[in-house]
Chains A and B, each alone.
Chain A
Amino acid sequence: LKTISNSRRCYKQWLWFMVLFMSFSVIYVDAVWPMPQMISSSMARYTLNPREFIFQYSSGSSAQPGCSLLDSAFERYYPPRQHDEWFRFPFTVVVHVERAECEGYPDADSSESYKLSVCSGQAALRAETVWGALRGLESFSQLVYQDDFGEYFVNETEIEDFPRFQFRGILLDTSRHYLPLHAILKTLDAMSYNKFNVFHWHIVDDPSFPYQSSTFPDLSSKGAFHPLTHVYTQIDVKRVIAHARLRGIRVLAEFDSPGHTQSWGKGQPGLLTPCYKGTVPSGTFGPVNPANSSSYQFMTRLFKEVTSVFPDSYVHLGGDEVDFTCWKSNPDVRGFMLKMGFGTDYTKLESYYMEKLVDKKGPKWRLVWFWQDVFDYHEKIPVDTVLHIWKGSPGQIQQELSSITLAGYRVILAAPWYINHIDYGQDWEKYYTIQPLNFTGTEQQKTLVIGGEVCMWGEYVDATNLSPRLWPRASAAGERLWSDEKMTSSVIDAFPRLVDFRCRLLRRGIQAEPLFVGHCRHEYQGI
């Protein structure tokens, strides 16, 4: 509910500012992106003086000084230092957290709800978890604005907020182009400003294998674009995970197989299927060879490493776009098909491979994700699997949503947000007006749609153009996934808010492109 009203505690100020409020308040109410579930504010405003501004834990909070996660968030959200000496009133943000998981990682069921009250010269932020506190700090920071003389203000505001969908992801592809670490970290920063909470790291694919595995170092030394400059070392990966954690972002690693694995073959001879031309090997290779038991041994060891490196309880196993022509050409694979009684149905072979892969679930083995192809072709998928819808027309997507949720699987929607596809003009509107739950199904089915994901595939994207291509277009999806659909159904209302928000992103050093003609007070200063 978006209401413009006063809180009881701040009644007096409310009367005072009533008149002014009628004409201006809307600006401030709309300040937060994505739109909170409930927000009200008045024209009463407090000046913030960076010299007398503090964050503080409430006495009853389970998180206290020493909670590294929130301590570092306080530092990030501290207003830019500057020299307005004349201001007299101190301002305090009191933070209260029920359960302090300061050293933990965000997970699929982490609560992100929070309540924020800016009132009587201070702000009170209450959250069940530290993750909720992070979201609340972000909202608070967006309530702060500067006037023409550089002074900071925050208006009296009440917010009660929680995400509409628990999974709000962004996929980056570091195989088609290598993204330097700082480009990834920058994206994580911007994600937290937009309240995204999952970084889907499509880390390897056909073109290159930049993940430096400690078990199989040859994979990157032979499969990366360059063995030294174009790899992610274990330390790099740790940095990404730590940077993400501090911002309440999960890192979901994808090691896509059996297709999309050309680069794997360079450092792991015998892994891929040799393709045949007639009766002789042609010299090229296809998907992972499902007829060799060594393939599964390799996968077991690799995923053992992956699950120990990436703390998230899910890994993404891919499983999309498997091309059968190479398997069909290979006599050993054909022999295996015969032996297994698959006939000529190669989807059964793919099924067999995927099932064996999941079958390897040891005690440390994680829950898995697949692209939707796996559901389309197979039956025996564990119920705790999450499926990822990436293709189809709007009609087909609705149908796919219906059938996957009817079968009881949880699902993530990515198809409408392939943001690597570009067009002239304001295509953010297209991403904004998607209705993820607009399909035929019971209420129960709809709860199985746990979120959505913005995909930035890397064919035409690297560090030179990633940021302006991603932001603020992804912000449109960010609001769709966080906010109430009814409150945010109008593109016309969203436009001026998004324009402001993108200037805020610029101010924070994110190279977000313009929506249309106009200017920001502080333009981007790089080139």
Chain B
Amino acid sequence: MLSCQLSADWQHHSTSYEEPTLGDSPYGSLWPLPQKVQISTVVFKLSGASFHIFDAKASSSGASCRLLQNAYRRYDEYIFTSSRKQGQNKSKKALASDMSELQVWITSADSECDSYPSVTSDESYKLSVDSPVAVLKAPKVWGALRGRVHGFYSTHCLYSDEEKSINRTDIHDFPRFAHRGLLLDTSRHFLPIKVILANLEAMAWNKFNVFHWHIVDDPSFPYLSRTFPQLSQHGAYHPYTHVYTPSDVKMIIEFARLRGIRVVPEFDTPGHTQSWGKGQKDLLTPCYSGASPSGSFGPVNPMLNTTYDFMSMFFKEVNTVFPDAYVHLGGDEVDFSCWKSNPDIQKFMEQQGFGMDYSKLESFYIQRLLDIVTTTNKGYMIWQEVFDNGVKLKSDTVVHVWMGNKVEEELQKVTEAGFTTILSAPWYLDYISYGQDWQKFYRAEPLSFKGTDAQKKLVIGGEACLWGEYVDATNLTPRLWPRASAVGERLWSDRDVRDLNDAYSRLAKHRCRMVQRGIPAEPLFTGYCAHEYKGV
């Protein structure tokens, strides 16, 4: 353990990462960087008193679109709160050159205001900031949300402290990848609702659009199921204080929708299910020590019909509770030793002609589970092992690549087989090290593997994962931000956006903006924000 100190260069203040040089980026604090952006040197003043956000007359969405009205209010607050608090807009009259309004124009006939975002949602937008009116044009509300977050709010940060101002700007923007996700783990530690909501908010600022909710796992089962309430009754850390009720889940889904974020729940089986066993008798495989049961349990018992009855009913509920078109079925890290110890399973293996190949048994289970889920009309995502083991998958399955070794080979194989895939291997944010490790996340390139253009198109995105072994409400937010922001830009911006110095300058400002809006995003390096974190 101490050997690492031996090798350390003994300075008070050594760093293991190169320190980017501080300079101002021509793009101010824009994060993630838009696909096309032109910022002119002409500056308009913005004043909270006279500035308003409107629906454009020709827009297909109007005052009845709660999603947009909500967003207008949020961003109006973000932009002007501090100056209004300081009482700076006294009775200053707006100058003629001031910009007085932002018009939001949804151009396609169906704005999708009342629907849920999906992997095919159009998130593109065009923003033109000019005097006296700025126009934000987007085919769907999802693009308008991105535009709000991005352009408007961000550029205003070229403001001086005394008066908000904004440069004449033209932005044409769209995401490089359709799936830009963040995984939070609420099983290893329970995360109070407000922590989840705060991070959904921060996700929106960073243009993430998928909340991968790793909701249950071995340590605890906080999901309160209407069909099987005993699962959380016995499997949660506490049956009342450490659970997500149906209304909690609903609130989270709606909160996410209003920010253009999908909620993809993960119910991982057949491994990682210790907590399921507490409330659901006979679901897990009894392990044996010699000829008698040892009292401990292994993965889901794949040989009982009751298991599949249970899964049918359970996923039927999941299907109705979570509106997204996908559910994540897990399927990772199945330990075979318990199955091997159980004489009934051994017999079953024999009957099925699996020999000693327990991965066939795993596939047998997964196959049946996938069939069950298919009947609910949901698509599914699975961890890469399921694909590696040769399970037959529906063509629209998303294979989630997470293992750190041979990442490029795996991407090659998965896409060669014609499956869509998302990448997490380079973005396990729960692994921490001293210094500016955001650079490592930033440098990762999802499409560096060998393959045809068609294959590369199958990589629909990536996910930053924050597993919960060492993370709970106390340290989640500063550990996640702004490190996840690095992943956010990699997944949104053009492949060629890779200049670390430029990124550092923008990211430092972006993190101060998050801090000012109340998210305790940790510092990148020595320095300060005009408005430091007020919590603690």
Contacts and interface: CB of A to CB of B under 8 A. Distances in A.
**Chain B interface, >50% SS class:** loop
Contacts of B533: 180, 462-464
A515 B242 CA distance: 18
A391 B6 CA distance: 10
A177 B529 CA distance: 9
A490 B366 CA distance: 44
B526 A421 contact: no
A525 B190 CA distance: 12
Nearest to B199: A527
B153 interface: no
Max count, chain B CB within 10 A of own CB: residue among A226, A229, A467, A523: A523
Contact of A457 (B13, B525, B535): B13
Contact of B189 (A230, A394, A423, A517): A517
B470 A425 contact: yes
B15 to A, nearest CB: 7
Contacts of A178: 528, 532
A208 B529 CA distance: 13
A203 to B, nearest CB: 15
B36 to A, nearest CB: 33
**Chain A interface, >50% SS class:** loop
A462 B190 CA distance: 25
Contacts of A182: 536
A460 to B, nearest CB: 6
Nearest to A430: B1
Max count, chain A CB within 10 A of own CB: residue among B198, B434, B536: B536
A218 interface: no
Contact of B532 (A180, A394, A460, A469): A180
A429 interface: yes
B353 interface: no
Contacts of B432: 422-424
Nearest to A394: B2
A433 B433 CA distance: 21
Given A423-B433, A458-B526, A519-B237, A468 B474 contact: yes
Question: Interface size bucket, A side?
Answer: 35 or more
Nearest to B11: A321
B435 interface: yes
A177 B523 contact: yes
A424 B431 contact: yes
A465 interface: yes
A31 interface: no
Contacts of A101: none
B287 interface: no
A394 B536 contact: no
B477 interface: yes
Contacts of A459: 13, 15, 525-526
A99 interface: no
B12 to A, nearest CB: 6
25 contacts: A177-B527, A177-B528, A180-B533, A321-B12, A391-B12, A393-B2, A393-B5, A420-B434, A422-B432, A459-B525, A460-B524, A463-B532, A468-B478, A511-B474, A514-B470, A517-B188, A517-B219, A517-B468, A519-B220, A519-B242, A524-B192, A525-B192, A526-B473, A527-B195, A527-B198
Closest 5 CB pairs of A and B: A468-B475, A464-B520, A391-B10, A465-B478, A225-B528
Given A176-B526, A177-B523, A513-B474, 18 more contacts: A177-B527, A180-B534, A225-B527, A321-B11, A393-B2, A416-B2, A457-B13, A458-B526, A462-B533, A465-B523, A513-B475, A517-B189, A518-B189, A518-B219, A519-B237, A525-B473, A527-B194, A527-B518
